[in-house]
Amino acid sequence: MNYSSSRPVKKPKKTLSWSNTRITLLEYCERKYFLNYYTFALKQDNPDIRAETLLLKWLKSIEMRIGEKSHFLLSDYLHTLKKWEITNEKIEELKDNMRMEMKADFDYSKERDYTDHEDFFGKFWLSEHFYGEDADSLLEPAIEKVCGNLDRFIASPRNEKVQDYFKTAKFIYVEHPRTPDFESMKVDVSKIWLRDVSVLAGPDFGVTFSDTDFLILDRKSGKEEVLDNSISDQLKVYALKMLLKKWFTSLNWIKIEAYEVYLDSMNSYGWILKQEDIDWIIEKINHDVEEQKQLLVDQNPYKNQPVDLMMFRKTTNDKKCERCTFRDVCKKLD
């Protein structure tokens, strides 16, 4: 295995940021949170560990790649549908292109050559290959899972509704997951009493029916999570972002309907947002940011400099450690 220890390090973002993904990782394992978001803070006198950690940030398991590629393929389909260029032949072409893409990516990852790139960002590497596991038998099932997710969506009533939205809605938003626009994902947090903190959120699919009527859909390819009489925090953040653009934090006469759609079953979970949902997520973001600040020098979100690595607690769950991308580096740092 090869990787360079002389990579130029990206300058860290100046201010602290909040996202649902980021806070979930913090709650999962503080040490992993540090290694993922504060790699730049690793000691300069340990260049090999630092370089390896920078690489590990971009590794994903085959299961994570299934989710990523499913989003890519669904987005490709929806953008094509938006242009009214969908035919059975075009659908097969989209799936064939994805099959070729996943096979090429897999072969690239299998080479385990991490040296000849100026930047690790956007490279396709599997954690299974990095750790020397035999992943050949995982490729075809992964491809079929991704293509099957598209097939299930197309065969579902949700697809018929989406086609109708394209005909009748005032505006349709479809994400571009291959080239995320982080600037457009920023939430205006000045109205929720946050300073020197950026909040990022971007739904998969959004519909504007009128100036007061909206729909948000977020696709899920992982394990189905049934929320009892609740709606996910992620959907609440999307709704808050929409409100903050025009109407501060009060729904009043605004209708925002939001659902998570699980591609395995095409089950959806969500509802029309209530004011208590908006109030809850504002309170949660502020609370989470205070928790994040406890792990910063002088609790300063503007400088965003982490305290010593050893202050970031490792999870006590051995099963989490066994499959963690950073597991070898984590041991070296102890």
Q: Note the pLDDT tens digit of each residue in 8-25.
A: 444 445 789 999 999 999
**What residue numbers bound the domain in which 164 lies?**
159-287
Q: How confident is the model at residue 229, as a pLDDT?
A: 65
Residue 334 lies in a domain: no
Q: Of the given ranges (77-81, 83-87, 140-144, 294-298), which has the lowest mean pLDDT?
A: 83-87
| Domain end point (choices 111, 127, 156) | 156
Shared domain for 216 and 89, answered yes or no, is no
Shared domain for 16 and 143, answered yes or no, is yes
What's the rounded mean pLDDT across residues 124-129? Answer: 90
Shared domain for 152 and 163, answered yes or no, is no
Residue 294 lies in a domain: no
Q: What confidence tens digit (pLDDT) does each residue in 152-166 have?
A: 999 999 999 999 999
What's the rounded mean pLDDT across residues 138-144? Answer: 97
- The answer to whether 10 and 39 are in contact (CB under 8 A) is no
- The answer to whether 35 and 56 are in contact (CB under 8 A) is yes
Closest CA relative to residue 262, chosen from 207, 225, 229? 225
Residue 330 lies in a domain: no
| Domain end point (choices 123, 156, 189) | 156
Residue 229 lies in a domain: yes
Q: What confidence tens digit (pLDDT) does each residue in 33-72 have?
A: 999 999 888 876 677 888 888 888 888 999 999 999 999 9
Q: How confident is the model at residue 11, as a pLDDT?
A: 42
| Neighbouring residues of 78: CB distance < 8 A, sequence distance ≥ 6 | 162, 174, 205
Asked whether residue 194 carries a pLDDT value surpassing 80, the answer given is: yes
Shared domain for 147 and 228, answered yes or no, is no
Shared domain for 152 and 182, answered yes or no, is no
Given pLDDT bands bounded at 50, 70 and 90, which one contains residue 230?
confident
| Neighbouring residues of 151: CB distance < 8 A, sequence distance ≥ 6 | none
Residue 117 lies in a domain: yes
Shared domain for 29 and 142, answered yes or no, is yes
Asked whether residue 109 carries a pLDDT value surpassing 50, the answer given is: yes
Shared domain for 28 and 144, answered yes or no, is yes
Shared domain for 141 and 164, answered yes or no, is no
Asked whether residue 116 carries a pLDDT value surpassing 80, the answer given is: no
Higher pLDDT among residues 54 and 6, named by residue: 54
Asked whether residue 126 carries a pLDDT value surpassing 90, the answer given is: yes
Asked whether residue 234 carries a pLDDT value surpassing 50, the answer given is: yes
Percentage of residues in the chain having pLDDT higher than 90:
67
Average pLDDT, rounded, for the chain: 89
At position 302, the amino acid (one-letter code) is Y
| Domain end point (choices 119, 136, 156) | 156
Asked whether residue 139 carries a pLDDT value surpassing 50, the answer given is: yes
The DSSP H or E segment spanning 197 is strand 197-200
Q: How confident is the model at residue 9, as a pLDDT?
A: 41
Given pLDDT bands bounded at 50, 70 and 90, which one contains residue 103?
very high
- The answer to whether 235 and 206 are in contact (CB under 8 A) is no
Shared domain for 114 and 226, answered yes or no, is no
Asked whether residue 5 carries a pLDDT value surpassing 60, the answer given is: no
Asked whether residue 173 carries a pLDDT value surpassing 50, the answer given is: yes
Residue 328 lies in a domain: no
- The answer to whether 312 and 34 are in contact (CB under 8 A) is yes
Shared domain for 28 and 113, answered yes or no, is yes
Residue 3 lies in a domain: no
Percentage of residues in the chain having pLDDT higher than 70:
92
Count of domains observed in the chain:
2
Shared domain for 150 and 171, answered yes or no, is no
Q: Of the given ranges (137-141, 184-188, 209-213, 290-294), which has the lowest mean pLDDT?
A: 184-188
Q: How confident is the model at residue 248, as a pLDDT?
A: 78
Asked whether residue 2 carries a pLDDT value surpassing 60, the answer given is: no
Higher pLDDT among residues 227 and 275, named by residue: 275
Residue 318 lies in a domain: no
Distance between CA atoms of residues 194 and 201, nearest Å: 16
Q: How confident is the model at residue 228, as a pLDDT?
A: 65
What's the rounded mean pLDDT across residues 230-251? Answer: 88
Asked whether residue 266 carries a pLDDT value surpassing 70, the answer given is: yes
Q: Where are the alpha helices (DSSP H) in the chain?
A: 20-28, 30-37, 47-56, 62-82, 88-110, 127-130, 136-154, 157-168, 233-246, 275-293, 318-322, 327-333
Shared domain for 108 and 16, answered yes or no, is yes
